[in-house]
């Protein structure tokens, strides 16, 4: 369906920290989901919540390692058009690998 037909309401992120993006769709309740506190969390949060709630990250941790996260970030950038710079992608990778790589 074309974007012109979208009807659900948009929200403005008025108090976004540095790195968080402006516009956001959110489902009620998802604000309860928080990522682990470590350097890169705010950037990762800000970029990822543009398109999806955050529990995709911890729930996938058991299937992920650094290479898998790299592939995932690349997919978000290249296939899904996530606005992430190369430098940000590196920081997000370090954060996700450090906090959510659970693959044995």
Partner 1 sequence: MVTRRELLLGTAGGWLLQRVRAGEAALSDAADTLTALAGKKPLIRRAFRPPNFETPLADLAAPFTRNDAFFVRYHLAVIPRVDPGTWRLQIAGASAQHPLTLSLRELRSGFEQVSVAAVNQCAGNRRGLFTPRVPGVQWGSGAMGNALWRGVRLRDVLHRAGVAPDALEVVFDGADSPILPATPDFLKSLPVERALDENTLIAFEMNGQPLPHWNGAPARLVVPGWVGTYWVKHLTAIRIEPKAFDGFWMKAAYRVPTGAFPGSRFTTQENAETTPVTELMVNSLITSHVSGARLRRGERAELAGQAWDGGAGIEGVEVSADRGQSWRDAALQRDLGRFAWRGFRFALDTSRAGPLEMAVRARSRGGAKQPDTLTPNPSGYHDNIVQSVSLEVG
Radius of gyration from C-alpha coordinates of the chain: 14
CA distances to 9, 31, 36 from 80, in Å: 21, 23, 25
Of the candidates 26, 39, 67, 85, which one interacts with partner 1 according to CB under 8 A? 26
Three-class SS of residue 104? coil
Q: Does 60 bind partner 1 (CB under 8 A)?
A: yes
Three-class SS of residue 41? helix
Least distance in angstroms from the C-beta of 19 to partner 1: 10
Of the candidates 40, 43, 50, 96, which one interacts with partner 1 according to CB under 8 A? 50
Q: Does 59 bind partner 1 (CB under 8 A)?
A: yes
In DSSP terms, which residues pair with 23 in a beta bridge? 12
Of the candidates 40, 46, 84, 92, which one interacts with partner 1 according to CB under 8 A? 46
Least distance in angstroms from the C-beta of 8 to partner 1: 6
Backbone angles phi, psi at 102, to 5 degrees: -115, 5
Q: How far apart are CA 30 and CA 51, in angstroms?
A: 12
Contact residues for partner 1, defined by CB under 8 A: 1-3, 5-9, 11, 13-17, 20, 24-36, 42, 45-46, 50-53, 55-56, 58-64, 68, 72, 79-83, 100, 102-103
């Amino acid at each position: 369906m074309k974007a012109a037909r979208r009807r659900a309401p948009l929200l403005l992120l008025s108090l976004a920290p540095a790195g968080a993006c402006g516009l956001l769709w959110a489902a009620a309740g998802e604000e309860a989901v928080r990522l682990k506190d470590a350097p890169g969390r705010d950037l990762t949060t800000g970029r990822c919540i543009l398109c999806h709630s955050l529990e995709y990250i911890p729930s996938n941790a058991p299937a992920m390692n650094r290479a898998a996260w790299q592939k995932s970030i690349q997919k978000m950038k290249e296939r899904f058009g996530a606005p992430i710079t190369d430098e940000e992608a590196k920081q997000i990778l370090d954060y996700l690998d450090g906090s959510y790589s659970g693959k044995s």
